[in-house]
Amino acid sequence: MKTVLVPGGAGYIGSHTVYALVESGAEVVVIDNLETGYEKAIHPKARFYRGDIRDCAFLDSVFSHESIDAVIHFAANSLVGESMTDPLKYYDNNVGGTRCLLRSMVRHNINIVVFSSTAAVYGEPENIPILESDRTAPANAYGETKLAMERMFGWTELAHGIRYVSLRYFNACGAHECGEIGEAHKPETHLIPIVLQAAGGKRENVSVYGSDYDTRDGTCVRDYVHVMDLAEAHVLAVDHLLKGGKSDIFNLGNGVGFTVSEVIKTAENVTGRPIPVAVAPRRAGDPAQLVASSQKARDVLGWNPRTPSLKAIVGTAWHWHRSHPNGYQD
Ligand code: UFG
């Protein structure tokens, strides 16, 4: 049985991936500083060490105590807006933290890592759907640090032989069907949780950031992908590397774009409740459209999303929001 170390395993995508790993029969060790993650989100079967990936002595002690076969690295800050007002926080934690993690992996001879990257590495895309080989030109500091991390993995492989898979997520959403874990950020900035808070009466309305984009209804188009489908891709990526597969980069999305207005209509349909809307100015750094081609992940990893329908995705998110209107505080 393989043992996987998951830095950031108490966060949104990290916690869902830990559930998928446990369900696949893996042993899981989580490390998290709980700055943005929640202890309640950690699967009860995972062993948990609280600490920061920038603390090299802490990382060394975890690697010494545990016999780790592979790492899935989620520990990072991930808010586009915050990255524009505090870019150095992003360089410190995302780039600096990854440097410490890789340094410790080299010291302990661990040579497999899967890592969360983002559609934000592309900036304003040249083509839709976006291919992995398309130009990368981040429009915000968050995307810039993720691209720097990807490049750090590339150089580290050349020098130390650590093989990696970088997964560029499009818009993660939804929740595990068990209802125990879901999406909860502090503060919440993501569209689907905000829309469901409005449906649940916890928010007066949804601000639609811009209605004058060059899209079919003027609002931004995004590719929404179920968090458990993302989680499954991590399990497949670890297996790919454990079987000797080469380092690679994959987009993860469903290949279908929905506008902000379409997401709101879908949520009204799923919840059966009206969702009041207020048009607001554009949000800095938002590209008009982001839609993935994930053909490569399907071909190389055998990835096959099980919940591609937006209605079904919003349904799983609504199940979580209704039972946890205050997130993990409930
Ligand atoms: N939006 C609104 N109102 C809101 C919140 C969002 O209109 O209250 C809009 C945004 O402008 C955007 C869309 O809804 O057009 C989706 O916004 P999210 O904040 O949910 O997601 P983003 O597309 O901004 O961000 C996602 C990931 C980031 C990643 C980024 C890449 O969450 O980690 O894609 O662009 F960096």
DSSP assignment of 45-89 equals TSEEEE--TT-HHHHHHHHHHS--SEEEE--S---HHHHHH-HHH
Q: Are 208 and 261 in contact (CB under 8 A)?
A: yes
- Mean pLDDT in residue range 54-65: 98
What does pTM read for this prediction?
A: 0.97
pLDDT higher than threshold 80 for residue 330: no
CA nearest ligand 1 atom 6, residue: 191
User: What pLDDT, in 10s, does the model give residues 150-188?
Assistant: 999 999 999 999 999 999 999 999 999 999 999 998 889
197 Cβ closer than 6 Å to some ligand 1 atom? no
144 Cβ closer than 6 Å to some ligand 1 atom? no
How far does the centroid of ligand 1 lie from the alpha carbon of residue 119, in Å? 11
Three-state DSSP class for residue 130: strand
Split at pLDDT 50, 70, 90, the class of 32 is very high
Beta bridge partners of 31: 7, 49
Three-state DSSP class for residue 14: helix
How far does the centroid of ligand 1 lie from the alpha carbon of residue 285, in Å? 10
78 Cβ closer than 6 Å to some ligand 1 atom? yes
Split at pLDDT 50, 70, 90, the class of 81 is confident
Nearest to 68 by CA among 29, 10, 15: 29
Split at pLDDT 50, 70, 90, the class of 208 is very high
How far does the centroid of ligand 1 lie from the alpha carbon of residue 316, in Å? 19
In the block, which residue shows the tokens 């030109």?
137
Beta bridge partners of 164: 113
- Mean pLDDT in residue range 22-31: 98
In this structure, of 24-28, 220-224, 253-257, 284-288, the range with the lowest mean pLDDT score is 284-288
Other Cβ atoms closer than 10 A to 32: 27
- Mean pLDDT in residue range 315-325: 95
91 Cβ closer than 6 Å to some ligand 1 atom? no
- Mean pLDDT in residue range 103-130: 97
**Residue 56 has what pLDDT?**
96
Split at pLDDT 50, 70, 90, the class of 223 is very high
Split at pLDDT 50, 70, 90, the class of 33 is very high
In the block, which residue shows the tokens 């993501």?
190
Any idea which residues carry the catalytic annotation?
142
**Residue 187 has what pLDDT?**
87
220 Cβ closer than 6 Å to some ligand 1 atom? yes
pLDDT higher than threshold 80 for residue 300: yes
How far does the centroid of ligand 1 lie from the alpha carbon of residue 254, in Å? 16
**Cβ-based burial of 329 (10 A; exposed 0-12, middle 13-18, buried ≥19):** exposed
Question: Which two three-digit tokens encode residue 67?
Answer: 């016999």
203 Cβ closer than 6 Å to some ligand 1 atom? no
For the chain, the average pLDDT equals 97
Which atom of ligand 1 is least distant from the CA of 287?
35
State the DSSP H helix or E strand holding residue 221, giving kind and residue range, or none if neither.
strand 221-222
How far does the centroid of ligand 1 lie from the alpha carbon of residue 307, in Å? 20
Question: Which two three-digit tokens encode residue 179?
Answer: 């209802």
Amino acid at 97: G
129: cis peptide before it, omega within 30°? yes
In the block, which residue shows the tokens 């983002």?
118
CA nearest ligand 1 atom 21, residue: 190
Q: State percent of the chain over pLDDT 70.
A: 100
The CA R_g of the chain, rounded to the nearest whole Å, is 19
Q: Are 152 and 115 in contact (CB under 8 A)?
A: no
- Mean pLDDT in residue range 279-306: 95
- Mean pLDDT in residue range 93-117: 98
CA distance 187 to 277: 20
CA distance 147 to 114: 14
Which atom of ligand 1 is least distant from the CA of 280?
7
In the block, which residue shows the tokens 């380092």?
247
- Mean pLDDT in residue range 143-152: 98
pLDDT higher than threshold 80 for residue 262: yes
pLDDT higher than threshold 80 for residue 279: yes
